[in-house]
């Protein structure tokens, strides 16, 4: 008897009608209950949890974390993307981007769980990710990380700072005198249960930027025209329906081996032609992925994002678990099939022409149900193909069943994998020119921001954003198509996310995080994967903490270089023994390195110039006298030194510039003294020792950390018409607003 997973559009609409939070008049009897806190974090994804943990570790006294479901962890768990995809290119090979901060903690916890459960830290042997985790286990990891900071019911007398509220959806955000005052919620399972939360500061980590959107803060959704940012890949326009074109969503399917044939009932709109592009794609190959991720011989639907590899690890066959997240599953977010159009229009005239971001929960539910049908149709196609081809049971999708891990009635993840949301109009919008690479080997991005909070690299990666209806019949099957300017494999350099991209241009008391940040649509496709979103949440939590503790608005913090450096240093140091965050994306730096903070800060401040041909800091490499002199010349330009200006000007450093011989501790000691800085005792005692990069960084940073920087007049910095460095580019459009020669 086949398993039944028929999805009814009518049933979806009925459910959505029950859950919808349409505005209603509020009487005295049903006025919302209210709570107050220092920090409100809206969302339950990896960014939201990371923000809450970071803020709690930094001592924020009261935090309310509000999730719209009873799942925590976002991509790792509720979206079902348990294969952690973080590849980059380093020395010509695909490797994982360096891990740091809370993301590193999560990955360590994942490996520890897998080791305890399977006896191996990386049981998936997946093609596009070295590390995998099953969804229920992922959620448990997030809850365990959150647990030490959670407040419990009063009778337990817990002193945790975080109150966790679940199954609550945003209905409105109230702005008073330009500042978010409170946010209103409704219970997703009981629309009569309402809550109002007033906070000094709110972080929006929701899937669709609910606080940003309902507060009236400026945001963007869909493509940006070339005229907006001058991006090479942006469309010239004008827009038609493609104004709603976004990176598609995918409804992931997680399946596990079954002893019996477990073919599902096909979705009610199943048409084999929708999946024709799979005809030449291998379902399964036998590969333990010994050559590493993206190995040429390991590519198949089965191995693509396999979570547990029973065969090559010697596990019982029933442990075999596969995540299906294949491009054929992708669901474009405009130009919908006619059945979806009809359902949307029946709810609201014009709803089918709305951007997904601007739809109601009820309207999105219609889109989501069709995306589920599309994903299940692909699974059914794979099952029946393997059955008809008599593929052996141990590697046949016909012998794979939907997992029960999610606790949902349809056994699918409670949320879709969302690649793009709204984009906050922020104090600086990262654009394609800032990160676009010249070739396949990443270097340093053209814009390495002075206010960077974490480093990242991922290609400009658009999954198929459009559909083509076969026979031009909108009631029939469709296939996905890529467009020339929205594709994958557009190369980017190693880049950094600036504080300015978290701060709205027009609303106070609010920070964006997760995918709700200040980037162009093109850049959003490169800033969306697990590690990036976790770190984005962590730095937003850190930003909120310093704002609350210093009584600053996010805008004031962004305009205050001293407080900005305080924030950056605190991120690098970590807190309470937890790993620091990598800001300048060196591949050979670990947060355990003694020179980790120094190498990052000297690079961010423009005192250390990274090698153009290497992504490493190379701390054990000896410096030449020329390199030492160059570093000290930058110190002169960028730092207010404790020495008379005339005396400093008379200091001679030019003869060293042409010297190619190795610099010594003695050379460094003399340079420090000539700049009014005190050399360490060791430099003076053993002056003939060769000077290493890590030694210079550690000692020099210890002398500079308390000194002020030479900066232009910042009285009007980041105001609408300000150009503090007089380079003809307004601050809000200037990636590098403090021009340095």
> Which ranges constitute the DSSP H helices of 585-721?
596-604, 625-638, 645-650, 654-657, 665-674, 681-685, 693-704
* Block mean pLDDT (10 aa), the chain, length 741: 37 38 40 92 99 98 98 99 95 95 99 99 96 98 98 64 98 98 97 97 99 98 97 92 95 98 97 94 87 88 96 97 97 98 99 98 98 98 97 96 97 98 99 93 96 97 96 95 86 97 98 99 98 99 99 98 98 96 98 98 98 97 97 96 81 57 97 96 96 99 97 95 96 91 52
Q: Tell me the whole-structure pTM to 2 decimals.
A: 0.94
Cβ–Cβ < 8 Å for 332, 248: yes
- pLDDT at site 284: 87
- pLDDT at site 635: 97
- pLDDT at site 286: 83
Cβ–Cβ < 8 Å for 737, 724: yes
β-bridge partners, 169: 186
Burial of 590 per CB tally in 10 Å (0-12, 13-18, 19+): middle
φ/ψ region of 713 (left if φ > 0, alpha if ψ in -120 to 50, else beta) reads beta
- pLDDT at site 657: 47
Alpha-carbon span 573 to 578, nearest angstrom: 8
Alpha-carbon span 256 to 136, nearest angstrom: 13
Instruction: List the domain boundaries for the chain.
Output: 579-704, 713-741
Q: Which helix (H) or strand (E) holds 486?
A: none
Alpha-carbon span 254 to 325, nearest angstrom: 9
- pLDDT at site 14: 38
- pLDDT at site 9: 41
- pLDDT at site 21: 40
Q: Which helix (H) or strand (E) holds 461?
A: none
DSSP 300-332: SHHHHTEEE-HHHHT--GGG-EEEE--GGG-B-
């Amino acid at each position: 008897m086949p398993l039944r997973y028929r999805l009814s559009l009518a049933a979806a609409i009925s459910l959505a009608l029950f859950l919808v939070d349409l505005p209603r008049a509020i009487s005295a009897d049903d006025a919302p209950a209210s709570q107050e806190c220092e920090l409100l974090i809206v969302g339950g994804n990896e960014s939201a949890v990371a923000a809450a943990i970071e803020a709690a570790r930094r001592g924020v006294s009261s935090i309310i974390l509000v999730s719209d479901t009873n799942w925590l962890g976002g991509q790792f768990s509720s979206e079902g993307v348990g294969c952690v995809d973080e590849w980059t290119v380093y020395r010509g090979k695909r490797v994982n981007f360096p891990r740091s901060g809370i993301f590193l903690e999560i990955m360590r916890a994942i490996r520890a769980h897998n080791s305890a459960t399977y006896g191996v830290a990386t049981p998936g042997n997946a093609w596009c990710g070295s590390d995998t985790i099953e969804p229920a286990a992922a959620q448990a990891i997030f809850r365990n990380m959150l647990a030490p900071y959670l407040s419990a019911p009063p009778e337990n007398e817990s002193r945790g700072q975080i109150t966790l509220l679940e199954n609550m959806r945003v209905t409105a955000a109230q702005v008073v005198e330009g500042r978010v005052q409170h946010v209103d919620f409704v219970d997703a399972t009981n629309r009569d249960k309402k809550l109002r939360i007033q906070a000094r500061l709110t972080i929006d980590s929701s899937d669709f930027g609910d606080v940003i959107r309902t507060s009236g803060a400026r945001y963007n959704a869909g493509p940006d025209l070339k005229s907006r940012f001058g991006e090479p890949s942006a469309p010239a326009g004008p827009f038609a329906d493609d104004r709603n074109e976004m990176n598609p969503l995918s409804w992931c399917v997680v399946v596990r081996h079954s002893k019996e044939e477990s073919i599902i009932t096909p979705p009610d709109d199943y048409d084999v032609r929708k999946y024709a592009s799979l005809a030449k794609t291998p379902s399964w190959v036998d590969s333990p992925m010994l050559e590493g991720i993206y190995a040429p011989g390991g590519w198949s639907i089965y191995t693509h994002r396999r979570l547990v590899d029973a065969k090559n690890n010697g596990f019982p066959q029933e442990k075999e678990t596969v995540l299906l997240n294949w491009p054929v599953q992708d669901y474009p977010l405009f130009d919908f099939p006619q059945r979806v159009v009809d359902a949307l229009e029946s709810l609201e005239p014009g709803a089918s022409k709305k951007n997904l971001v601007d739809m109601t929960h009820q309207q999105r539910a219609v889109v989501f149900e069709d995306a589920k049908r599309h994903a299940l149709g692909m699974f059914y196609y794979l099952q029946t193909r393997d059955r008809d081809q008599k593929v052996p049971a141990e590697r046949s999708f016909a012998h794979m069943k939907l997992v029960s891990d999610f606790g949902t009635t349809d056994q699918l993840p409670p949320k879709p994998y969302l690649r793009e949301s709204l984009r906050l109009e922020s104090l600086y919008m990262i654009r394609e020119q800032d990160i676009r690479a010249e070739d396949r080997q990443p270097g340093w991005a053209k814009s390495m921001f002075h206010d960077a909070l974490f480093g990242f690299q991922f290609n400009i990666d658009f999954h198929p954003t459009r559909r083509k209806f076969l026979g031009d019949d909108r009631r029939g099957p469709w296939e996905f198509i890529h467009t020339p300017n929205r594709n994958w494999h557009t190369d980017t350099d190693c880049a950094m996310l600036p504080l300015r991209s978290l701060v709205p241009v027009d609303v106070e008391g609010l920070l964006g995080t997760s995918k709700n940040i200040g980037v162009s649509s093109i850049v959003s496709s490169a800033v969306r994967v697990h590690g990036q979103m976790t770190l984005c949440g962590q730095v937003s939590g850190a930003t909120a903490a310093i704002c609350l503790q210093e009584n600053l608005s996010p805008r004031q913090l962004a305009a205050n270089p001293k407080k900005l450096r305080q924030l950056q240093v605190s991120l690098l140091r970590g807190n309470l023994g937890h790993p620091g965050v990598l800001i300048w994306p060196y591949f050979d730096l670990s947060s355990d390195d003694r020179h980790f903070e120094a190498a990052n800060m000297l690079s961010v401040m423009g005192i250390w110039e990274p090698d153009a041909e290497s992504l490493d800091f190379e701390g054990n490499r000896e410096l030449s006298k020329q390199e030492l002199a160059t570093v000290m010349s930058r110190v002169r330009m960028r730092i207010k030194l404790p020495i008379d200006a005339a005396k400093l000007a008379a200091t001679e450093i030019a003869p060293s510039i042409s010297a190619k011989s190795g610099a010594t501790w003695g050379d460094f000691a003399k340079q420090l003294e000539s700049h009014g800085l005190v050399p360490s005792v060791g430099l003076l005692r053993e002056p003939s020792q060769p000077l290493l990069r890590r030694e210079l960084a550690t000692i020099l940073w210890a002398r500079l950390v308390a000194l002020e920087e030479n900066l232009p007049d910042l009285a009007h910095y980041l105001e609408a018409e300000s150009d503090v460095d007089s380079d003809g580019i307004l601050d809000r459009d200037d990636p590098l607003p403090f021009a340095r020669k």
